[in-house]
Amino acid sequence: MIKPPVTFEVVKRISGTLGRAGIIHTPHGDIETPAFVVVGTKGTVKSLKPEDMAEYVGNQVALANTYHLFLQPGADVIKEAGGLHKFSNWDLPTITDSGGFQVFSLGAAFGKGVTKFAKGETDDKTEKSELNVYSKKLAEEHGKLCVIDEEGVTFTSHIDGSMHRFTAERSIEIQHDIGADIIIAFDECTSPTADKAYQEEAMDRTHRWAKRSILAHKQNFEALKKQGLYGVVQGGRHLDLRQTSARTLADMDFDGFGIGGSFSKEDLGEAIQVVNEILPEDKPRHLLGIGEPMDIVEGVRLGCDTFDCVAPTRIARTGTIYERTNDGHKRINLMNSKYRRDFSKPDESCDCYVCQNYTKAYLAHLFHSREMLGAHLASLHNLYYIVNFTKRLREEILLA
RNA sequence: GCGUCGGUGGCAGAGUGGUCAAUUGCAACAGGCUGUAAACCUGUCGGAUUUAUCCUACACAAGUUCGAAUCUUGUCCGGCGCA
């Protein structure tokens, strides 16, 4: 029996809750949890150079995307380059997402302004919405194709329209080529507007894909030695489905778990809780695509170990930064006219490089004049903010 | 001085008798962004408002017309050409 490449140890538990601090051991180093995973979809954290992560952000882990790297530059190129770490000069633990989220974002959600978060109505009255119909017809209406069947997903590239197909096995194979420390089983992220029947159908299918992902992973001995595999819990907003999903996946031989899919803002916590009550304690849990600072607080309390979210870099690129308030956090839009002559630090309480050296007025000027340095500096700040905020949550657990 | 072309909302620039408070772009102002289709998207952008409508506006003035940013005349200003 070879030692698994990715293992987890709990360092301390928060009494009375599911929360814990721990360490994920990977071939490229340890991840002290809770930890925020910086998102670099295409093998680059947008607007940052790889060295900036270590020098200015301090993140311990980064995440790239199978779908994007498969389309561009191609998994073969990355394999030939010696893997993601060498190719991107990422000298830290890495994760690749399976491409399952793109089934949602490029499928049902395409052009609809739908996010994985449901807003307002969360009952099944929306079940007749066309959004829950994954059909070729609907896909053609917006010029994109994303058709799901039992074996996998057929889709067209958002880059050039070319047709491709992902199956569980194919996603794993591509992730082997890319070579991240942690890879994720191919799953289907459903729309929050999909009805329960569809959520269940998609969840069951994701479970079958999970089983096949494990088999595919075990067939590659080289990969098995250096890459850990996570399964993804689905079930949408339905607690019973979430529990079923957690139980099903917990019985499978995964190195860790992702909690994915759609939520509504109100019941995010409940969904996480019922899942983490079931998932094995000795395996790491990653909350996929979450979140905002307060979401992370809740996720940590409910037993999640790692988090990734595009928000810090996405909002940064358009002039919005996180700022600490007396009772929490807020986003401030530097494009607002009131910051044109505001020579205070971007965030007075922040000790990041950006806040030590620049003013709101300067950043506002960069954004108004569309200078790319604005996106860079704001991204540095936001990532530092969220990464170090999560680190502090760990410290609080250790001190408690 | 003569000739000629032109003067449209913060800017650029459409429109050339009614469907025009005036296409579009930029700027401005605000909102949004949660496993990145995203250096993006949405809304507002003359004033008042019960949002129906009313008022003021396409250099200025006078006129033609039921009706003018659009036609006529004059004035002012600008580009170009010739003196």
DSSP class per residue in A197-218? HHHHHHHHHHHHHHHHHHHHHH
pLDDT confidence bin for A12, thresholds 50/70/90: very high
pLDDT confidence bin for A136, thresholds 50/70/90: very low
All CATH 3.20.20.105 domain ranges of chain A, comma separated, are 7-309
Nearest nucleic acid nucleotide to A312, CA to C1' distance:
B34
Q: Where are the alpha helices (DSSP H) in chain A?
A: 50-52, 66-71, 75-81, 84-88, 100-103, 136-141, 168-178, 196-218, 221-226, 239-250, 268-276, 293-301, 311-317, 353-357, 360-368, 372-399
Q: Tokens 């899942």 identify what position? A: A275
Assess whether the previous peptide bond of A34 is cis (omega < 30° from 0): yes
> In a 3-state reduction of DSSP, which class is residue A89?
coil
Question: Going by DSSP bridges, is the β-strand pair A163-167/A152-156 parallel, antiparallel, or unpaired?
Answer: antiparallel
Using the Cα atoms of residue A292, residue A391, residue A62 and residue A95 in order, give the sign of their dihedral: negative
Averaged pLDDT score across all residues of chain A? 92
Specify the pLDDT at position A60: 98
Q: Mean per-residue pLDDT for A370-390?
A: 98
Question: Going by DSSP bridges, is the β-strand pair A256-259/A263-264 parallel, antiparallel, or unpaired?
Answer: unpaired
DSSP string for residues in A173-199: HHHHHHT-SEEE----PPPTTS-HHHH
Could you read off the pLDDT of A74-129 as tens digits, one per residue?
Answer: 999 999 999 999 999 999 999 999 999 988 888 878 877 788 887 654 433 332 23
Could you read off the pLDDT of A289-339 as tens digits, one per residue?
Answer: 998 999 999 999 999 999 999 999 999 999 999 999 998 999 999 999 999
Specify the pLDDT at position A116: 86
Question: Going by DSSP bridges, is the β-strand pair A117-118/A263-264 parallel, antiparallel, or unpaired?
Answer: parallel
In this predicted structure, which of A92-96, A111-115, A284-288, A385-389 has the lowest mean pLDDT? A111-115
List beta partners, residue A30.
Answer: A25
Specify the pLDDT at position A144: 61
How many other CB atoms sit within 10 Å of the CB of residue A165?
12
Q: Mean per-residue pLDDT for A142-155?
A: 82
Nearest nucleic acid nucleotide to A265, CA to C1' distance:
B34
In this predicted structure, which of A33-47, A109-123, A188-202, A227-241 has the lowest mean pLDDT? A109-123
What's the rounded Cα separation, in Å, for the pair A22 and A33? 5
Is the pLDDT reported for residue A250 higher than 50?
A: yes
Is the pLDDT reported for residue A212 higher than 60?
A: yes
Is A149 labeled as catalytic in the residue annotation?
no
Specify the pLDDT at position A186: 97
Nucleotides in chain B with any atom closer than 7 Å to protein CB:
27-41
Percent of chain A with pLDDT over 90: 82
**A7-309 has which fold?**
TIM Barrel (3.20.20)
Name the residue closest to the C1' of B41 by its CA: A113
Specify the pLDDT at position A148: 92
- Any atom of strand B under 7 A from CB of A104? yes
